[in-house]
Chains A and B, each alone.
Chain A
C-alpha cells in the first residue's frame, strides 16, 4: 500500500490562525482541503510538506452566500456546488464543469478552492518517486530537464482544472488572505503560464473565497474532452460565456482548459464576437482562433496534435450551444453520459 510520508498536522478554526501558521514556514507548509490533490502527491513524494494545515475545521470557508452575484467559500465541496440549484440555474457552464470533475466520490471530497489551485499535471511528474528517479527526475520536481520538450527552459505541465476556465469565463474573482493582509484578484490573474509557478498566489496566502458577478443576461457553457466518462482530467476543454442582446452578442469570453500551463483566454475571438450574431461562419473563425492559440504538449492522455485539432470542434460545440442549437446528443456522446448529476 502506498503510505504518506511523515508530516505535522495542524487544524486551525479560523482563517486568521491558518494564515498565521502558514506564515511561520510558508516554504514547507501546505494547505489541505479535500485532499484529493495533495494526498496522492504526498504519497508519490511530489509534494513533501513538513507541515500540513487542514482547513476543514474553518466553517466560514464552506459557506455560499448570495450577494450581488454568488460568493462561494473555497472549502465548498464540488458536490455541494453541483447540488446547488443557484449554480445550476445561473451559472450553467460552471455547473457543467464542476459536475464533470473526476468522479462523484472525489467531488464529495474535493473543494472549489482545491480545484482552482490544482497542481499542474504531467505524465513525467505525476509518478512515484522511484519512477521519477528512473528518468532522473524532471524540472518540476528534483530535476533539471523538462522531458516534455527537452529544450524548454520552463516546465510545460498542463493546467488541469475544470472549474477555472468556467469561472474565468464568468468573470470570477478570488480573495487571498495572508497574515499581512487580504487582496482580491481577478481569477485570470491568479494564473501564470508556467508549469512550476502556475499560481501568482504567494506561498503565505490562502485562497478563501470565489466571487461570481451577477449572471444577468449571460449564457455560459463548458465542454470537456477526456478519454472516459469519469475519473479523467481534461485533455482539452472550453468554457464560453456570452451576453446576448436578441441574437447579437454584446460581450463574450472564451477560455480554453488543458492546452497550456494555465487556463487560456481567447481574447481575439471574444472581440470578434462582440456585436455579431452567431453565424456558422463566425463560429468557424472563432474556432480557428482558439485552434491557433491552443498549445497542447505531450504531457497527458492522447496525442497532442489530435488534442489541438479537437479544440476547433469543442469551441464550435460550445458556441452553437450558446446560440441555442440543441447539442444534447453531441454532449452525451462526448461526455459519455447526459450530465444527470442533479437528482
Chain B
C-alpha cells in the first residue's frame, strides 16, 4: 500500500496557524472565569535565611483579600525528579534565594493582591550566602539542603569507559583545555500563568502554561494529597517554553490549593522578574577537556570534568549533570572516555533544562578543542571532523546505541554552501569563519519516573460524521506538536489535516504523553499516532472490503476516499468508509502507544543519554570582529540538519532558524548573571537584571542571515523516518562563533558568551605576548567519588560497571553487542 504522500513532507500551514495569527489561541492568562480571584506571591528578598516570623495580619485585613497563605499550608515537598523532592510551594522554614516564594495573597483583583502582599512582614535570620561553586565547595556548612552527596555538593558522579589514562598517555598529542559556559535563561515571551478551579463535581482543574502536564499532574497530586484521578491538568498552548516550563512550579501548587479551599477560580500570572526567578535554565558550567589525539587527528581518549552551578534546588539537576557528559561519544568516535561531573547548590534561582539540556556547555568545549586540535595538526577542521564521525548503527564507548548518522552529509553541505574552503584562514584580518557540529537526542530513552509504561499514548475516535478526533497528552509549546499529530493521522487515513481535530495536553481527556521535553514528541507521539491511525485504517479497510467486495490488500486511502488500487473509480468516500466500519464493528476507537527500546547501558547513570535515535547538525558561522574594540557581528550562518524526514518542512525550518537564533543569543549576549554585594556590607545576592531589557536577547537587527539545509535519510526509529529538530540546531552555534572569532583575529574565547570585552582582553594579551585567550585558568580539585568502571562494548563490555556491587557474577554478554563490538574493533580500534 505504498503510495505518494499527500501531507507528510509537504510544506503547509500548521493546523493551529489561523488561531495564532488572529489572537484566538488561548494562553493561560487569557482564560477568564466567572468569580475568578487573583493571586500574588511574596518572594524572599534575602538569599539564604531562616524564616523567624511571618506576620500576615495587615495583608489579611485589606478589603478584597480572600486568603493569605504561608508555608504552613504546604507541608509536602515535591520536585520534578524522584531523587530531589526538595521544593515546597511556599517556603516553610528556610529561603534559599532572592525570589523564593514565602507567602501568597488571593484577592478580588491583581491590584488588590499586589497591594496586600506588600504588607506582609517577614523576619529573617540570615545564613551564609553561597554565590558561586567556589563558595559551595569551600564551605560544607551550613548546608543549603540536608540531602545531596556531601556538604553543598548536590551530585558528584564519575564514570569511566576503558583505560582512558593509557589511551591519552599513548597518544601523539595531549590537549588539555578549560572552558566556561555562563548560565542563561529561556526568556519565553509568555510569562508563566495558571488558573485553577474546582469543577462542579468538586474536583480540581488546573490550566497552566506547562510543557509537562503529566508531571504537573503527579506533583499536584503529591503536594496537595489529592488522588491524581481527581485532578485534571490542562496544558494551555505555551507562549514559548524552551524547557523553562517543564518543572512543577510553586505558583501552580499555590493557586490549586487556593481554588480548592475557596471554591472559586484563582489565577496567577507572573511578572517578568518572577519568570527570571522560576528560571530552570542553562547551568553555568566550568569544564576541563583532556584529550589524547593521534597525528592524523583521531581521538584516543577523552577525560572530561564538569562543574555545574545548580542554584538553590534540585530541579532536573541530576540529569543535567549526566547530560554534560552524555553525548560527546555520540558525535565522534571516542574509544575510551572518562566523565566526572559535579553539581553544587548555590543561593540563586535553580538551574534546569534549557534547549539542549546540559549538552551545549560541553558541546562548546569539545568543538572549540577540536578546532584547536585541527590548528595544531594543520588539518582543516571540517576534514578532521569528517574523519572521526561516529559510525552509524554502532554502540558508543558509553553504550549509547546510534542509528542513522547524517553528520558527514551535514558537514559536506555547509562546507559547500558557505564556501568554507575559500574562506577558512583566507579571509582578511577581522573576518573569519568557524565550523562546529553537534548531536542531540530524539527523545530521552527513559522516563523521569522509571516504569515500564508507554512514553506516549494516542487515541483515535472516528464516527459516522467522517470526523476524526485524535487525543494525545502532548503539549503544544509552539514547536508544532499538534501539527505533527494531525498531519500523521491525516496521512495514514488519506484525509486532509483540516478533517482531523486534535485534543491535546489534557489529563482528563487524553492518554499520557510525558511532555514537551528532550525533543521526544515528534518521534514518540508520532509513532504512537501512526500505530493508532494504522489500526483505524485496518478496521475501516475491513469494513469497506466486506461491503464493496474489494480485497483489503488493494485498498488505498487517499484524497478523502477509500478505493481499489486496480480500479480507482471503485470505492467510497472516507465518511462512507467509516460508516461501513462502524456498522461492522460498532463504535470505532483505536489506540497507539510508544515505548522506546531498552538501552544496553546498565550502569548507574546510564539512564541519561539513551535515545531511539540522534539528530546531527553542522554549521558554519561567519563573523566580523573590529580589532580595535572587539566589537563582533555575525552576518551569516550556514546550517545543515540531519532531520531524517521533514514532516512539515515549514515548521522544521522554523525550528532550525529558531535554534540558530537562540544559539546566537547564547553565543554573544545572553547571561543569567548575579550581583553579590560587598560581603563586608551586605548578604545580598541578586539577579543582576531580571528584565527583558537588560537580559539581552537578539532583536530583528541582531539576527544573521541563515541558510538552512535539511539532510533527509529516513531513520527507521522515527515516524516516517523523522528525527528531532527542536534542540540540536542550537548546539553548534556557540562553538562555531568562538572558532570564527579565532579565524578572524587569532584569539581564543574559551568562555561563553563571546563578548567584545573578552575579545579585546584577549587581543591585548596577545599584543603583550601573553596567551592569546580569554577563559578560565584552571579547574578546581573536586573530591570525586569512586569511579564506576565500565568496559566499552568494543572490549567486550556488557553495559554494567565492573565494580558494581550488584553485578551478576557471570557476565551475560549480549550477542548482538558482541558482534557489533567485534566489527568495530576490526574497523576502528588500532
A291 to chain B, nearest CB (A): 12
User: How many angstroms from the CA of A3 to the CA of B117 in the assembled complex?
Assistant: 13
| Nearest-CB residue, chain B, relative to A229 | B701
Are B669 and A303 touching (Cβ within 8 A)? Answer: no
Check if A147 is an interface residue, CB within 8 A of chain B: yes
**With the chains together, A340 CA to B693 CA distance in Å?**
23
**B678, B687, B756 pick with most chain A CB within 10 angstroms:** B756
Q: Is the CB of A131 within 8 A of B690?
A: yes
B784 interface residue, CB < 8 Å from A?
A: no
Are B624 and A306 neighbours in the complex by a CB distance under 8 Å?
no
**CB contact under 8 A between A123 and B756, given known A134-B98, A228-B699, A229-B701:** no
Q: Closest chain B residue to A123 by CB distance?
A: B689
A128 at the interface (CB under 8 A from B): yes
Q: How far is the CA of A227 from the CA of B624 in the complex (A)?
A: 15
Task: Tell me whether B757 and A134 are in contact (CB under 8 A).
Answer: no
Interface centre among A3, A123, A133 (most CB of B within 10 A): A3
Assess A135 versus B757: contact at CB under 8 Å? Given A130-B45, A229-B702, A336-B633. Answer: no
A313 CB–B CB distance under 8 Å = yes
- By beta carbon, the residue of chain A nearest B635 is A333
CB of A2 within 8 Å of the partner chain: yes
Asked if A250 is at the interface (CB within 8 A of a chain B CB), the reply is no
B824 CB → nearest A CB, Å: 48
B628 within 8 A of A: yes
Per-residue A-contact encoding for B21-32, CB less than 8 Å = 1, 0 else: 000000001000
Flag whether A231 is at the interface (Cβ < 8 A).
yes
Chain B residues in 8 Å Cβ range of A227? 669, 696
CB contact under 8 A between A136 and B701, given known A130-B45, A336-B633: no
With contact pairs A301-B696, A310-B629 given, residues A2 and B271 touching in the complex (Cβ less than 8 Å): yes
B628 engages A228 (CB within 8 Å): no
Chain B: minimal CB distance from A23 (Å) = 30
Residues of chain A within 8 A of B269, CB atoms compared: 1
Contact of A334 with B by CB under 8 A: yes
Chain A CB within 8 A of B114 CB: yes
B45 touches A134 (CB 8 A): yes
Could you tell me the dominant secondary structure of chain A's interface residues? Answer: loop
Query: A41 on the interface (CB 8 Å rule)?
Result: no
Q: Does A135 lie within 8 Å of B682, measured CB to CB?
A: yes
CB distance from B193 to the nearest CB of A (A): 9
B626 at the interface (CB under 8 A from A): yes
What's the Cα separation between A124 and B204 when bound, in Å? Answer: 42
Q: In the assembled complex, which residues on chain A have CB atoms less than 8 Å from the CB atom of B702? A: 228-229, 336
- 0/1 string, B267-296, CB within 8 A of A gives 1: 001011100000000000000000000000
State which residues 29-51 of B face A: CB under 8 Å.
Answer: 29, 43, 45-47
- Considering only CB atoms, which chain A residue lies closest to B269 in the complex? A1
- Which partner residue on chain B sits nearest A338 by CB separation? B701
Do A147 and B677 have beta carbons less than 8 Å apart? yes
> Provided the pairs A134-B684, A150-B681 are in contact, do residues A228 and B701 lie with their beta carbons within 8 angstroms?
yes
- Check if A309 is an interface residue, CB within 8 A of chain B: yes
When each residue 685-726 of chain B gets 1 if its CB lies under 8 Å from chain A and 0 otherwise, what string results?
011111101101011111000000000000000000000000
Q: Which residues of A contact B689 (CB under 8 A)?
A: 123, 127
The residue that B693 contacts in the complex, of A129, A145, A232, A310, with Cβ under 8 A, is A232
| A63 contacts B by Cβ under 8 Å | no
Complex Cα–Cα for A128 and B45 (A) = 11
B135 touches A (CB below 8 Å): no
Q: Chain A's nearest CB lies how many Å from the CB of B213?
A: 24
Q: How distant is the Cα of A127 from the Cα of B271 in the complex, in angstroms?
A: 12
| Interface pair A301/B701, CB less than 8 Å apart | no
- B249 CB, nearest partner CB in chain A, Å: 17
A228 lies within 8 A of B669 (CB): yes
CA distance A13 to B495 in the complex (A): 64
Chain A positions within 8 Å of B138 at CB level: none
Contact of A131 with B684 at beta-carbon distance under 8 Å, contacts A3-B111, A123-B694, A313-B629 already known: no
Is B273 a contact partner of A128 (Cβ separation < 8 A)? yes
A337→B55 CA distance, assembly (Å): 54
Q: Tell me whether B110 is interfacial, beta carbon within 8 Å.
A: yes
The distance in angstroms between the C-alpha atoms of A215 and B219, with both chains bound, is 68
Known: A150-B678, A301-B694, A310-B629. A337 touches B701 (CB 8 A): yes
* Residue of A whose beta carbon sits closest to that of B46: A134
CA distance A123 to B690 in the complex (A): 10
- A126, A133, A231, A305: residue with the most chain B Cβ atoms closer than 10 Å: A231
B760 contacts partner chain A, Cβ-Cβ < 8 Å: yes
Q: What mask results when residues 217 to 237 of chain A are scored 1 for a CB within 8 Å of chain B, else 0?
A: 000000000011111100000
Please state if A306 and B760 are interface contacts (CB–CB under 8 Å).
Answer: yes
B147 interfacial by beta-carbon distance below 8 Å: no
Give Cα distance in the complex from A228 to B698, angstroms.
7
- A1 partner, pick from B271, B696, B700, beta carbons under 8 A: B271
Tell me, yes or no, whether B631 is within 8 Å of chain A by CB: yes
Proximity string of chain A (1-20) to chain B, C-beta cutoff 8 Å, 1 when within and 0 when not: 11100000000000000000
> How many angstroms between the C-alpha atoms of A230 and B118 in the bound complex?
34
Nearest chain-A residue to B759 (Cβ)?
A306
User: How many angstroms between the C-alpha atoms of A303 and B118 in the bound complex?
Assistant: 34
Q: Which residues of A contact B755 (CB under 8 A)?
A: 302
Task: Give the docked Cα–Cα distance between A136 and B675 (Å).
Answer: 13
Beta-carbon nearest neighbor of B760 in chain A:
A306
Q: Which residues of B contact A313 (CB under 8 A)?
A: 626, 628-629
Contact partners of A305 in chain B: CB under 8 A: 757
B45 lies within 8 A of A333 (CB) = no
- Smallest CB gap from B687: residue in A: A131
Residues of A within 8 A of B684 (CB): 134-136
Per-position 1/0 for A226-253, Cβ under 8 A of B? 0111111000000000000000000000
Q: How far is the CA of A333 from the CA of B628 in the complex (A)?
A: 13
Chain B residues contacting A126 (CB-CB under 8 Å) are: 691, 694
**A281 to chain B: closest CB distance in Å?**
17
In angstroms, Cα B225 to Cα A185, docked, is 69
**B113-136 interface code vs A (CB 8 A; 1 in, 0 out):** 010001000000000000000000
Nearest CB on A from B745, distance (A): 14
- B40 (CB) vs chain A CBs: closest residue: A3
- Contact in complex: B631, A334 (CB < 8 Å): yes
- Per the bound structure, the CA–CA distance linking A230 and B698 in Å amounts to 9
Q: Report the Cα distance A306→B273, complex, angstroms.
A: 28
How would residues 276 to 308 of chain A score, 1 for a CB under 8 Å from any chain B CB and 0 otherwise?
A: 000000000000000000000000011101100
Identify A135's interface contact among B631, B633, B669, B686, CB under 8 A.
B686
Alpha-carbon distance between A282 and B628 when the two chains are bound, in angstroms: 18
State the Cβ distance, A216 to closest chain B Cβ, in Å.
34
**Least Cβ–Cβ distance between B756 and chain A, in angstroms:** 7
User: CB within 8 A of B110: which of A3, A150, A306?
Assistant: A3
| B498-516 interface bits toward A, Cβ cutoff 8 Å, 1 = contact, 0 = none | 0000000000000000000
Q: Say whether B693 contacts A131, CB under 8 Å.
A: no
Please report the C-alpha to C-alpha distance between residue A305 and residue B111 in the assembled complex, in whole angstroms: 42
CA distance A130 to B689 in the complex (A): 13
Contact B114 A229 (CB under 8 A): no
Q: Are A231 and B45 in contact (CB under 8 A)?
A: no
> Please, which residues of chain A bring their CB within 8 A of the CB of B114?
3
A309 to chain B, nearest CB (A): 7
Q: What mask results when residues 386 to 424 of chain B are scored 1 for a CB within 8 Å of chain A, else 0?
A: 000000000000000000000000000000000000000
Contact check, B701 vs A336: say whether CB atoms are below 8 A apart: yes
Task: For the complex of A and B, list the 3 residue pairs with the smallest distance between their C-beta atoms, beginning with the closest.
Answer: A229-B701, A134-B45, A306-B757
Question: What are 12 A-B residue pairs whose CB atoms fall within 8 Å in the complex?
Answer: A3-B114, A123-B694, A127-B691, A129-B118, A131-B273, A134-B45, A135-B682, A150-B681, A227-B669, A305-B757, A333-B631, A336-B702
Please give the residue numbers on chain A whose beta carbons come within 8 Å of chain B beta carbons, in ascending order: 1-3, 123, 126-131, 133-136, 145, 147, 150, 227-232, 301-303, 305-306, 309-310, 313, 333-334, 336-337
B residues bordering A, Cβ < 8 Å?
29, 43, 45-47, 98, 110-111, 114, 118, 269, 271-273, 624, 626, 628-631, 633, 669, 675, 677-678, 681-682, 684, 686-691, 693-694, 696, 698-702, 755-757, 760
Known: A145-B681, A228-B696. 10 other contacts (CB 8 A): A1-B269, A127-B690, A128-B690, A134-B684, A135-B684, A231-B693, A232-B696, A306-B756, A333-B626, A334-B631
